[in-house]
Structure 1
Amino acid sequence: MDDDSGAGVGVLARALRVLECFTDDEPVLSASRLSELTGLSSSTLHRLLAQLTAYGLLTRAPGHGYTIGVRLWELGELSPLSLRLRETALPHMLRLYEATGENVHLAVLDAPTPETAIALFVGRVTGQGSIPTLSRMGGRHPLHTTGVGKALLSTRDDAWLARYFSVPLERETTHSITSEAELRAELARAQARGFATTREEMTLGNVSVAAPLTRVEGLPPIAIGTVVSLEHADERRLGGLVVQAAKELGRALRSPQQSH
């Protein structure tokens, strides 16, 4: 149904509907594809596309398509997740990368509600020798199948987890843990040792080790971790490294220079 006929639905809501159509799989979309995805009428959609393009929120692409515009990226970089968290974290992520030679991920808990919570990846350091991963900055991944996700889950209280587990957990690989009892046991282990692990639960052949930061005022819950190949996974060594990185980053984020 076209939102033109929906009472109380404004231009901003329709514009957001258009912008949310763009994904990793479809970063370039035609007007016809956007019409199909949004259900907006041709006239409404073309007005929106013209406005979004004029303001730089969308950009025309070759072949009559549209992509996310530079202005939207520019505004996004003013978020505390970029301006405060990622910029402060980068030196710590680089040190962790130098110590491991593997992917380093920085993620936050994006949780409008526990039932819809995910791990939002806000930073990544990788190199030519690093094992391939599915993550990217701005990518969203399940909490229960990622190292940073489990680390974030280990910081939640029982009431929060009860709501989180009210929604069935999806299986990403044959090794994914979807049982509440098993995952709660994993979280208890993570709390006891200070870091969480996943073994081939998001991507086959990969092991992730991650640690949560203690809470930082003004930012959502944060975790830092590394992803290595199964044959190179020394979890005890990696656990010590990510726990140290989490402590040092937490101190840096809470320093007086970062209070603005």
Structure 2
Amino acid sequence: MITGAGGMGVPTARNLGTDHHIVLFDNSQDRLDAAVAALDGIEVTTVLGDVTDRAAVDALFATATGIGPIASVVHTAGVSPSMGDAEFISRINALGTVNVDEALLALASGAVADGAAIVNVASMAAHLVPAELIPETLFPGALTDPDAFVAALLETYAPFPAEARSGFSYAVSKGFVKWYSSAQAERFTAAGIRIVSVSPGSVDTEMGRLEAESGAGAMVEGANVPRWGTAQEMADLFTYCVSDKAGYLTGTDILNDGGVVASMRARQG
């Protein structure tokens, strides 16, 4: 199963579709239709819905388990700073992750294949914000009172200039994805599911290029690998993470950013 029929979702589906039936979830029928056309020859079932709607996510999993046990979930659905305000970004990136992952965890025995894994897509942005600015003490609230959690996040954004809040909320929401994929690993392990997050750098997709004007391009120019990453490179890593070859990998984040974070830290040091 793959959430997000955009730039990284399609090559991931192509990779995994060589020996799996793909269930593809997105909130745009146009994107789903385009993905199916690009995945000619691969068995694909599409489901239209929003990751912030838990009922829609539960319906997605009902569709998937009706086809067979779920082997893996790659959760690529998310939004970038240019795509909305701080609340919108927080709900999509943070609560969307909770909805998808918790729905997987709630499945009855037999609905999930042995050795199943989930990959959550975070971002290098979560590695660039000073740790003391990531409000991790608020994060557990996402599992108990989602609306109060979002309200608390918005309070932490309030001191920032209005034009900076979307960018900061993006980094925090992706920091949440990293935190969740580590902090909840024992719960997933108990259910026989591996969970990891991957933090891509600047990726040459439609969404990635939206951020070029905000400075992403300048960071790439100074990186150890001075180019944008490709969607296929990210898809290949996601594919490895959910494969049997990565059977010892869980509860951690993989930074795949061409060395941007390393370069910036070296210069600051």
TM-score, structure 2 length as denominator? 0.22
Higher relative contact order (CA closer than 8 Å, sequence separation 6+): 2
In proportion to residue count, which structure has more helix? 2
When the two structures are superposed, what TM-score results if normalisation uses the length of structure 1? 0.23
